[in-house]
Chains A and B, each alone.
Chain A
């Protein structure tokens, strides 16, 4: 039997599937069938209700769930192994994020910092224009601008490096 702890909006449930793939939530058997409709899209018959559900997988332990117009984040932990992937992953990502990349293709409409500037979380770095909107990209950490990899009024591709921040403590 596989057992997981699932944390949804701060509430914990234990989820188990037995060898016949019968579902138990908090040790109680639940009448449920799950059908995959498309990549990320599932149809769930859950007791007397039927839902269409969109599950976005962020990584092995983090998921976003859309059911009708409700959206919530779900974290999964394996009961036996403890946390599948610990939060150390997240802190590693934070360090990496000293490289600021373009979240989507767009036009650089303003560079708000210079090399050597000290930034802190929330400092506006670059304004990117895409989909008729101007979007200000903010620093997520304390640090110093180490390099700026783009020029004003150029178009950038998704994930293109915009600038590099040297983190300070």
Chain B
């Protein structure tokens, strides 16, 4: 068992999460090393670190995904450990192997855990063996209509056909009846072969209007496991979360106990260590099913930090050093209500496709119970190379009402100009009566959101806008703004860098 004091950490990531990790390291007196690509030369996170090394060109493959270069820099900078953040190399078992081969600590689970729990099929088997409910369906791929029919006879329509190689919502198809099955299966296999080079298809019960509930876990190398409660992340667009809250308003204490216990079981069976998240879906009859495990720190981890008072990055480092968790389950107490909104460079005028440009003006909200995790400052550029997330706004309140009140106001006060962004959408969600009631599911936006209706300004605002435009026209600012694309229509997740 490794037991080593970590004195210097390389952060194999960028943006807000790199800033987030560097902050905790500096609090702990640990030296930090950032890596940056061409376009991140002046980025906040690179300036925040004690040392910053150039890693490669803007393309992630040449920089934040380039294993050899990152390990080479780690050796040159003499770091004890690498923190991968989320996305990029955080769930890549071969990277973990290479890091450890070079006698550097990987701050995260072991290679084997990532291989097992990161694989949807193996993870499903582990969950099943732990007695945790999984969505009814096949454990093996199917290849004939007959086989599909015999399975459907026991689970019933509607079913979901899922490509084994798929992800991020791709290669999926809902089948409602026998008449759709044969052609649906054929199309799904063809699509899967084209998209992923793998035509293996799984079949499972389609859960309509599910809620997404996940459990935060911390596990040390001595067999101690605690959970830090659940987060509900049902508000999604294109299968990516936008708003996350804790506790979930959908479950009672009994169900919460069952779900968190199930999560701990999965982690125990998988011999998992470090921070991780076990994801479940909840159907409309309050049955929960294991979905998958994220073997890393998550984007939405601040929601849990706000309620538990536990710094998850600090715990990750301590676990990686081989230390025992400083608390047991009975010491964990979760307070109040927390919520996070992901502020992204997405264009509300054009079906929320990603937007680039200069952040000319940022007016961040501040106040009691508010936290913002960000990696950008006024004047920074949003480039097309990486994730469009600008920042994460997190609010905490003693009750859900108080928390939503703070978040609602914070979003209204928050101004980001120069890059089109989803602040109007986040604001609309938080103030939506159904969201306020807590009656929502993963198809909330498909069901309620219409771009024509959500953004109706009052007449006073129209006059105000008209006055300023009149001013510009009469005083003549001739600078031409680059033409904006108008022919976008559909954005989907790309397979290569999808994460939650």
Q: Is B94 an interface residue (CB 8 A)?
A: no
B464 x A134 contact (CB < 8 A): no
Q: For A140, what are the chain B residues with a Cβ–Cβ distance below 8 Å?
A: 486-487
Q: Closest Cβ of chain A: how far from B272's Cβ, in Å? A: 27
Alpha-carbon gap, A90 to B465, bound state (A): 23
Q: Convert A20-47 into 0s and 1s, putting 1 for each residue whose CB lies closer than 8 angstroms to a CB of B.
A: 0001010000101010011111101010
Cα A144 to Cα B427 with chains together (Å) = 43
B308 within 8 A of A: no
- The answer to whether A92 has its CB under 8 Å from any CB of chain B is no
Contact yes or no, B354 A131, CB < 8 A: yes
A136 touching B470 by the CB < 8 A rule? Answer: no
Residue of A nearest to B419 (CB): A54
Within 451-483 of B, Cβ neighbours of A (below 8 Å) are at: 455-457, 459-474, 477, 479-481, 483
A135 CA / B354 CA spacing, docked (Å): 9
Assess whether B385 is in contact with A131, with CB atoms less than 8 Å apart: yes
A140's nearest neighbour on chain B, judged by CB, is: B487
| A contact residues around B363 at 8 Å (CB) | 52
A120 within 8 A of B: no
If A64-B349, A131-B388 touch, does A57 touch B493 (CB 8 Å cutoff)?
Answer: no
> A68–B412 contact, CB under 8 A?
yes
Which residue from B59, B481, B484, B493 sits with its C-beta under 8 Å from A134?
A: B493
Interface residues of A in 96-138 (CB under 8 A from B): 97, 100, 103-106, 109, 122, 129-138
Q: Is A69 an interface residue (CB 8 A)?
A: yes
> How near does chain A come to B378, taking the closest CB pair, in angstroms?
9
**Chain A contact residues, majority secondary structure:** strand
Cβ A34 vs Cβ B488 within 8 A: no
Q: Contacts of B412 on A, CB cut-off 8 Å?
A: 68-69
Find the B residue at minimum CB distance from A16: B470
With known contacts A13-B463, A71-B424, A135–B353 Cβ distance under 8 A: yes
Is the interface on chain A under 10, 10 to 19, 20 to 34, or 35 or more residues?
Answer: 35 or more
Which residue of chain B lies nearest to A53 when distances are taken between CB atoms in the complex? B468
Query: Nearest-CB distance from A107 to chain B (Å)?
Result: 9
Q: Please, how many angstroms separate the alpha-carbon atoms of A69 and B424 in the complex?
A: 5
Asked whether any CB of chain B lies closer than 8 Å to the CB of A161, the reply is no
Decide yes or no whether B176 CB sits under 8 A from chain A: no
Q: How far is the CA of A74 from the CA of B466 in the complex (A)?
A: 7
Let me know if A149 is at the binding interface, CB within 8 A: no
For B425, give the chain A residue with the smallest CB separation: A69
In the complex, B405 has a CB within 8 A of chain A: no
Residues in chain A within 8 A of chain B (CB atoms): 2, 4, 6, 8-9, 11, 13, 15-17, 23, 25, 30, 32, 34, 37-42, 44, 46, 49, 51-60, 63-72, 74, 76, 97, 100, 103-106, 109, 122, 129-138, 140, 155, 158
What would be 28 A-B contacts, judged by CB atoms less than 8 Å apart? A13-B466, A34-B471, A39-B360, A39-B479, A40-B481, A44-B468, A49-B460, A54-B417, A54-B418, A56-B481, A57-B479, A63-B472, A67-B465, A68-B461, A70-B424, A70-B456, A72-B461, A76-B470, A76-B473, A104-B485, A130-B384, A131-B388, A132-B386, A132-B494, A132-B496, A135-B488, A135-B490, A138-B487
